[in-house]
Structure 1
């Protein structure tokens, strides 16, 4: 049954920009578990806004955070010019993640002891860096963003990590998957990886097509499955109370 969800735009500073996030609140007045949502490299779009609202309907406080100061970088060259240096700079990714996390924690409806971070592509890499920085998250989920970190820092991750990737994703090929899982295993992380057969990069994103770059495409069936897997992870790790 759909509940009443309240949304608002929140502005906050990060990465020398004014970021514009999308906050979704569930019905009721009490504190709720909370979820930070990171977007693909193109930036915050209606896709992530709708996911925040869907999570709010399930009883979570949800904040879809911004990467590019309120912009959605539709031009592939512009997107890569900003995201590639960002992905190579764990400190910048952590700063962006911490700034958004501060906004989520400051929301009175948020239960600060029950927060998870999920993300897609670059946003998933940001979620992982928060874990490597030792942030007290209850769960981390990353789709496409299987970026390995600096040596030894995965040992700071203190929660389960779920990762999803398409079997035909040329940006996250088998060697990258293997490096990521080896990092998680060596650090003693409670991890799992789901490989979605036949799916390309950004398979979860309904507005992405092959025009962005080769190897990118939407897969509706696996997009639904990945979403259900993430929702199951959140239910397992955050145990949301019934909505009021």
Structure 2
């Protein structure tokens, strides 16, 4: 197995001191970078492990923070913070830009070859970076099919991959259709994978605390979605150019 170095990185965003999880591949040369955005509950070991898995593949990966080092296990507290955030594109972009600055500042990162992978709220932030015109090489969003302000999707300059469960009540068919219409109208190179029978956050292992209705883990689709994300990175952000 490839040796991976990890460390916590503190940085400021959204009026908070964020704590990201940086994972570095073995070696000394520059490598493509990947931002990893968490679900609305916040950064957890799930996203930390995904950053480390990407580093094992050869990417510099930063799993970024949403809530100043906190994990919001209480659904009411999570919604009280995330719903206003999801309604405020500038706040989402500020959080994304701050994490992107950390990733770009890492000497091992090739600043011209960066992708963003996000789940739920983290996926919405990845999309907002694209709508802000950030020069990403790829965007992947799972469960985060949030439409943006009119016309701004035309600024997205990279392929967009989206994954969602067919039975996700938080991202229902109408939301999927609005998202794909936005992407298509903007001329984005997009694709959507609907995982049959899966609920919201199907990629996320079961948690002990109370979860929102309509949330559930689907092990097979979780593996498939991860393979799809890795395939997108291999296509758009190859480790050698």
Tell me the residue number matched to 1:226: 225
TM-score (norm 1): 0.97
Q: 2:40 & 2:62 partners in 1: Cα distance?
A: 17
Tell me the residue number matched to 2:151: 152
Given that 1:208 and 1:216 are in contact with CA atoms closer than 8 Å, whether structure 2 keeps it comes out as no
How far off is 1:214 after superposition? 1.1
Given that 1:148 and 1:183 are in contact with CA atoms closer than 8 Å, whether structure 2 keeps it comes out as yes
How far off is 1:211 after superposition? 3.2
Question: Residues 208 and 186 from structure 1, CA distance in 2 versus in 1: closer, same or farther, beyond 3 angstroms?
Answer: farther
How far off is 1:209 after superposition? 7.2
Tell me the alpha carbon deviations over residues 153-208 of structure 1, each in whole angstroms, 9 at most, x when there is no partner: 00000000000000000000000000000000000000000000000000000034
Please give the root-mean-square deviation of Cα atoms over the aligned residues, in Å: 1.1
How many residue pairs were aligned?
241
Tell me the alpha carbon deviations over residues 88-115 of structure 1, each in whole angstroms, 9 at most, x when there is no partner: 0000000000000000000000001100
Aligned residue for 1:13, secondary structure, equals strand
166-175 or 200-209, which moves further after superposition? 200-209
Q: 1:130 & 1:208 partners in 2: Cα distance?
A: 29
Tell me the residue number matched to 1:11: 10
TM-score (norm 2): 0.99
- Quick check: 1:86 aligned with 2:64? no
Aligned residue for 2:21, secondary structure, equals strand
Tell me the alpha carbon deviations over residues 5-49 of structure 1, each in whole angstroms, 9 at most, x when there is no partner: 000000000000000000000000000000000000000000000
The gaps in structure 2 that reach 5 residues or longer are none
Tell me the residue number matched to 2:70: 71
96-105 or 206-215, which moves further after superposition? 206-215
Aligned residue for 1:192, secondary structure, equals strand
Matches within 5 A, 1:113-124: 113-124=112-123
Given that 1:202 and 1:208 are in contact with CA atoms closer than 8 Å, whether structure 2 keeps it comes out as no
Tell me the residue number matched to 1:127: 126
183-192 or 232-241, which moves further after superposition? 232-241
